[in-house]
Structure 1
Amino acid sequence: MTQHAALDTNAHRELRIDPRAGAARGDAVMATLTVPSEFRQVQAHYPILFRRDNPQDPFIAVALFGFENGENLFLDGEHWDARYRPLSIAIQPFLVGRPASGDGPGQVHIDLGHPRIAAGGEGIRLFDADGQATPYLEDIAEKLGALDEGYRASPAFFAALADHDLLEPFTLEVTLDDGSVNSLVGFHIIDEAKLRALDASTLGKLHADGHLMPMFMALASLSQLAGLVDRRNAKLSHG
């Protein structure tokens, strides 16, 4: 159960975090939220797909880790087998909190019910003996700021995709080495043909608004699907 609280120097002076990767620490997920401002880093390792839970809901972008719920093919015990972890995973168990009005600067909040909360004096401290933020917490705050800024800028990116009808449904069926079939349904990708067909003026406007590069990065990320299949086959071969 989540227990969100604003991070407080006094209340959380002795709190420690276990930064190691692992299924028991919340990393056993098929996908995680990603934002256009980090697509360049994400595309080097993970496919970027788009989805929404209901037709009336806005789209979100996700970095794909596996083919079924709870499967993260980048997890190897306590090792995350990629040089970059998407911000929404890297910042856990922290999050950005805001006033009830939604306005004003964000605050660093923490989920005290998250499995990364360390016990027994183990883990990394958030505050030093003088109550000052440790380098670890400063790094988390920087990542939180980047994620928050990227998330708040995302609606303009998705509006541009909608304005030009640039998302198309995506279904993938993969036959694995053991003969089993893995399917991905319910996702969308950028329609490359429609993007190529846009006139120079429209492309220039997308570029000026900062949307064109994330679109190219999302398209480039689809090459990582083959690597994901390889990881699934390797997992099967090792039992």
Structure 2
Amino acid sequence: MLGTATDAYQPVERRLGITRRIVEVLAETGHPFSVVTKSAGIERELDLIAPMAAQGLVSVYLSVTTLDNELARILEPRAAAPARRLRAIRALAEAGVPVGVSVSPIIPFINEPELERIVEAAVAAGASSAFSIPLRLPWEVNPLFQDWLQRHFPDRAERVMARLRDMRGGQDNDARFGTRMTGEGVWAELLRARLHRVARKHGLRTERRPVELALFQRPSKPSAQGSLF
């Protein structure tokens, strides 16, 4: 899985090509993988991932958090614009790559009202699956987010934090395995119900797409580390 801790397509990737080299190794060995990204840079890898997709070895998820360009500029100022991400979904789908949309993170009263519209825009672009994760505020992310919230949305900051705490057992964050990615309580259930409703309407998957596990082959030229085995 690429892109779960941080995006595998940072701007410097255009120069360094580290992710590109990782995908080359995965393609050479028939190693299945999935990737989550906010970047249209994934299109660069179409020559590698399209043939892999034909073998059931890859799935891609584009994170689309808003369709509002003004909100996108303050929420994710260094990421691809919403329309550019939707074009990436279309390019991947047209190349035969299974592509889904991640409406994550969901922030109550900020991008949460757009949930259905984002999914529908992704469907129009070719997405075949969808999932979402309520905003998490671990460690240093919490004060950074609350500062951002007060600067950009002071009129609703208290409501946003109250709703987040409703989904996190009364705390700013809940790190427990099993609930940290989904939240709990009435509001978390409502978000899940909304996502599943729009997904059913458009025939989308809401579970992770399975990948082919039987095609892996050891590298033809093992690395020094690999030769230890």
Max radius of gyration: which structure? 1
- Do the two structures share a fold, i.e. TM-score over 0.5? no
TM value normalised by structure 1: 0.25
Report the structure, 1 or 2, having the larger strand content.
1
